[in-house]
Each structure stands twice: as C-alpha cells, then as structure tokens.
C-alpha cells in the first residue's frame, strides 16, 4: 500500500469520526491527542490530516480517488465502518456518510453487506454476555487495592477477589491477542469486550449496569471509544499490519513492535479501576479514577512482555468468525 493510500484511508477514518455531531463534540480532543501521539510515522503527518478534515479542506471524492487498489478501497470502507460503530450502532448521519463513501469507492452493497452486518452485530452486542477465556494459565502479579475514601462502604464481591483478578488478566490477554490480528473487526472487538469486563465487575459487586453507564465510566477514566479504535487501527495501518490481504495472521502475530500493547494495558487498568470503584460504592471522584487509571496503566506496561507469549498463543487460535462469535457471547 502506498503512502498516498495510507494517508487517504486515515483521512476517511477521520471524516467518519467527525461526521456525527455528538461524537465530534465528545472526542475531538482525544482524536487530536492521538494524532499527536502517532506523529512518529515518517509517512503521514496526522495533526495536519486532522486539521484538513476539521476545516473541510479535503472532500470525499478527492480522497477516495487516491485509492488505486481494490485492497485499499476495501480497507478504507472497513475502517470507516468500524469508526462509526465503535461507540454503538450507526446513527442515520453515519449511515448516510457510509453510503456516500461506498458509492465514491465504487463498491456495491453486496461487496460491503457482510462486513457491515458483522460490525453492527459487534456494536449491538450485549454487555452482559459471557467473558471469553484466555488461552493457557494466567496467574501473576496485580496492583495492590487502593484504600477507599473515608466513610465509603466497602462491598464484598459475589466471587473471590482472586477470581476477579484472574478475570481481568484473562480479558487483558484476550484483547492483547486481538491487537495482534490484522483484521479490522478484530480491532473493533476490543471495545465491546472491555465494556463487558466492566459490566461483569460491577455485577459482581452488586450493581446492574447498562451500556450508557459503562460508556460514561470509560470516558471518565479517559478511554474514548471512537478514539481508542482510531489509535489502535492507526498504529496497525502505519506499521503495515492492518488488512486481510497479502499478510494474514502469520505476519501479525508477534509483531509487538508494530503494536504498542495498548489493549492489554488499557483492559488491565480498566478492570482494576472498575474493581476499586465498585468495591468502594462508586464514591471515587473523577480525578481519583483518572489517577488510578494512570497508575495501574504504568504497572501494566511492565507486565505486557511477561504475558506476550500467551497473547501470541491465543491469537493463533482466532479468526474473524471466532472473534465475532466471541463478542456475540457464543464462545
């Protein structure tokens, strides 16, 4: 894939991110932060692309015209779909944009129907579905529990804290494995599985949560949904990993240098912050949640190398069909 095609695909993904007005207001700062974080690439200057999209200096027709290969056109559409579905099923505005994008790319409804249906199924997946188990045995160090605020009621989970710790570590390993796969849907699958983990922890502490509460919790600790997908997929694309053609699983597994390991870290930190939050009766302030997330993320960065072999092992057992079944709660 050429540098021009890579730049065009990212531009189209940014257009998808900003096409919904609500999403624009909520995640513009996060998208800009990600663009700054990914400026290490020698091929694409992302902050400039963000400004070009926001200022409408680029349009759909001109951007899609830069995509010469069938692979690039298909990947561009897939990434745009995943961006629109990252924070829930598509809005009418997003559906209209994706229809215009498909036509501009010269794709037919038949070319894109299956992928769109699979992505929408992931976006609509229930948060109360079963947690997938990680390959192999996962046991190891976890952060020490924080002392709850004075006057907080400390709740006891329905399962042992050790079982909760194992669930969190399993979820982090599974999402780390998904990060090693080259398919667009595998990257998108990380988000609903993170939401399911938060639901499970809240449930074990006696709270019945819905997707709206979980999204608010993720946003409070600093994990955006659309922006997280953009960052994960952007790193893969710039590293030459993302895409189903001309590479595949063998190319992706083990290339941790391409992927930052951010999914393992983010999932591990989300799980342990949720554990502290619900154990303490949801009394932690926004700043305390952010501080806890930052602290545990630092600890998790030191653990990801230890569990990389298990992520690689699990990645070798997965394909797009298994990933979709996992998110739907059928694995």
Closest CA to 230 of 30, 71, 72: 30
**Which has more confidence, 155 or 86?**
86
- Mean pLDDT (the chain, rounded): 84
pLDDT for res 40 = 53
Region 273-285: mean pLDDT is: 93
pLDDT for res 106 = 95
pLDDT for res 329 = 81
Closest CA to 95 of 122, 129, 119: 119
**Which has more confidence, 32 or 14?**
14
Q: Assign 251 a pLDDT band (cuts: 50, 70, 90).
A: very low
Helix axes 70-85, 184-204, angle to 10 degrees: 20
Q: Assign 257 a pLDDT band (cuts: 50, 70, 90).
A: very low
Region 310-327: mean pLDDT is: 90
- Minimum mean pLDDT range among 65-79, 150-164, 214-228: 150-164
- Please state the pTM of the whole predicted model: 0.87
Q: Residues 31, 17: contact at Cβ < 8 Å?
A: yes
Per-residue model confidence as pLDDT tens digits over 184-234: 889 999 999 999 999 999 999 999 999 999 999 998 998 888 888 888 888
Q: Assign 277 a pLDDT band (cuts: 50, 70, 90).
A: very high
Region 159-165: mean pLDDT is: 90
State the residue for tokens 């299956």: 114
Task: Provide φ and ψ at 57, rounded to 5°.
Answer: -85, -5
Q: Is the dihedral of CA 19, 20, 23, 24 positive or negative?
A: positive
Q: Residues 118, 249: contact at Cβ < 8 Å?
A: no
């Amino acid at each position: 894939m050429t540098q021009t095609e890579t730049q065009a695909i990212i531009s189209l993904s940014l257009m998808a991110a900003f096409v919904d007005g609500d999403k624009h207001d909520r995640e513009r700062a996060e998208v800009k932060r990600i663009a700054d974080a990914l400026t290490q690439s020698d091929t694409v200057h992302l902050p400039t692309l963000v400004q070009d999209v926001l200022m409408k200096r680029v349009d759909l027709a001109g951007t899609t015209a830069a995509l010469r290969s069938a692979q690039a056109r298909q990947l561009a559409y897939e990434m745009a779909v995943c961006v629109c579905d990252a924070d829930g099923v598509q809005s009418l505005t997003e559906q209209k944009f994706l229809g215009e994008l498909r036509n501009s790319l010269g794709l037919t409804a038949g070319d894109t129907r299956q992928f769109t249906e699979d992505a929408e199924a992931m976006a609509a997946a229930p948060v109360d579905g079963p947690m997938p188990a990680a390959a192999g045995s996962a046991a190891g160090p976890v952060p020490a529990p924080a002392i709850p605020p004075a006057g907080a009621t400390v709740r006891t989970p329905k399962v042992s804290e050790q079982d909760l710790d194992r669930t969190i570590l399993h979820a982090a390993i599974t999402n780390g494995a998904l990060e090693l796969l080259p398919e667009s849907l595998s990257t998108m699958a990380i988000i609903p599985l993170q939401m399911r983990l938060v639901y499970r922890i809240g449930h074990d502490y006696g709270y019945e949560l819905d997707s709206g509460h979980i999204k608010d919790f993720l946003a409070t600790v600093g994990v955006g949904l659309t922006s997280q997908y953009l960052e994960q997929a952007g790193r893969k694309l710039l590293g030459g990993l993302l895409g189903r053609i001309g590479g595949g699983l063998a190319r992706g597994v083990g290339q941790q240098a391409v992927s930052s390991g951010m999914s393992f870290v983010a999932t591990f930190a989300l799980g342990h912050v949720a554990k502290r939050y619900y154990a303490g009766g949801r009394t932690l302030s926004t700043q305390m949640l952010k501080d806890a997330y930052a602290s545990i993320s630092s600890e998790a960065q030191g653990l990801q190398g230890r569990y990389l072999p298990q992520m690689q092992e699990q990645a070798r057992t997965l394909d797009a069909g298994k990933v979709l079944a996992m998110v739907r709660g059928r694995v």
